[in-house]
Structure 1
Amino acid sequence: MDVYANIIGGNNVGAINDLKLWKITTIEGATSFAAKEGVTTSINTLSGLKIYDEAFNIFVQATGLNELGAGSLAGVNDDPNGYGVIRSSISVTATTAAVPEPSTYALMGVGLVGIGLMARRRRAAK
């Protein structure tokens, strides 16, 4: 699975949209879920993160890494486990808006008719 990003960097990198940034070897856990009333939590583990060459070069340029820093960072990417593991927990709280019952509308309608009839009677009594 690939991860794309929009980035803005210094050192003449500027803004780049939809940059193919990371490759993820393994994803454990749900990648989508339906939020139900209350709190829903999804826990994921991403492993085998590797940065693509183009993204790596842009990162090195944007951060101004020297040859030693870039070489050290590249060594991590060559490791079979890549940059390691990311564990994430996403919690979503969903609330459902109250929907009035049809009888509520009927009662409101009867009340409006009653107010209208009362106003009509007052006008007729004058």
Structure 2
Amino acid sequence: MKWNIPHVLAAALLTAAGASQAATVTAQTWDLYIRGTATLSFSADLLSALDTGKVSVAGYGYADPPIVQQDTDGFYNAVSVTAPVSTLTYDNVSTALLGIGTVGGVTLTAPVRKSVSSGGQLTVTDLNADLSTRTIYADIIGANGVGTLSHLALWHVASITGSTNFYGTYGGPAITTFSGLSLTSEGLDAFTQSLGLLTLGQSALMGVTNFGTLTAYVNTEPPLLSHPPLTPPWYVSPTPEPSTYALMGLGLIGVAVAKRRRAA
């Protein structure tokens, strides 16, 4: 029988945690030896609304610079923004994947345009896709008195496809896609006020029934048993508790068993 070391470690940790009680666990991808990215792709409807307000797009925080395609007249053909996946939330008994968190995002800037916008700016960052409620939360930084709104329910999700199990991330690459993103009422208010939308701008925004898709790609991080020399800037090293050392010991036992079986 061929053993996969990531599966051994994951099984040891999940079994130990589940032996005490079922729980929802949120862990940093670095602690799970997983690396990933999530890409937000704008829909045609959203691109049309951005064109109406001549809204510019820029990356924010740890996100990559946006990939922007425009025609010769300056109208958007495609826009996508990619940010690192920083956390995974899962059930430690069923191993169901419950949430995917990212760091970084996108900033939209609206110039002053008659009947469209009085001018403003909106940053959408640190997305958290909740699979159980089909909702994508985000931190919002808005102009025009909005300020910072943490963990705002921004989009409803029409469908989720691809990997929805925590083990899938160790078989890699695992891909989970959230499609049909529609603004919540709170999200609509944040967009409208932050961008200073006037009559035509509000009409354009209301016409966007699908904001696009969010696609997360995650995979096991090599080398498996040691962190790469540089950890990501957002990573916070946890302080081990006594129970953590017990779990580490169980994980090492699992590795030893795997080696013996492979040698047999």
How does the TM-score come out when normalised to structure 1?
0.61
The match for 1:42 among 144, 163, 174 is 174
Gaps of 5+ in 2: 1-133, 227-251, 253-264
The match for 1:19 among 129, 135, 152 is 152
The answer for the alignment partner of 1:87 in structure 2 is: 215
Q: Report the 3-state secondary structure (helix = DSSP H, G, I; strand = E; otherwise coil) of the residue aligned with 1:20.
A: strand
Q: Which has the larger radius of gyration?
A: 1
* 4+ long deviations beyond 3 Å: 84-88
The answer for the alignment partner of 1:57 in structure 2 is: 189
Question: Which residue identity lines up with residue 145 of structure 2 in the other structure?
Answer: N
Q: How far is 1:32 from its partner?
A: 4.3
2:198 is equivalent to residue 72 of structure 1: no
Identity of aligned residues (%): 34
Distance 1:85 1:3, change over 3 A: closer
Normalized per residue, the structure richer in helix is: 1
Aligned residues: 92
Q: How far is 1:92 from its partner?
A: 4.0
CA distance in 1, matches of 2:155, 2:202: 17
Distance 1:61 1:40, change over 3 A: same
Q: How far is 1:88 from its partner?
A: 3.7
How does the TM-score come out when normalised to structure 2?
0.31
Q: Report the 3-state secondary structure (helix = DSSP H, G, I; strand = E; otherwise coil) of the residue aligned with 1:33.
A: coil
2:147 is equivalent to residue 29 of structure 1: no
CA distance in 2, matches of 1:91, 1:74: 37
Q: Report the 3-state secondary structure (helix = DSSP H, G, I; strand = E; otherwise coil) of the residue aligned with 1:61.
A: helix
Aligned-CA RMSD value: 2.2
Normalized per residue, the structure richer in strand is: 2
Distance 1:89 1:71, change over 3 A: same
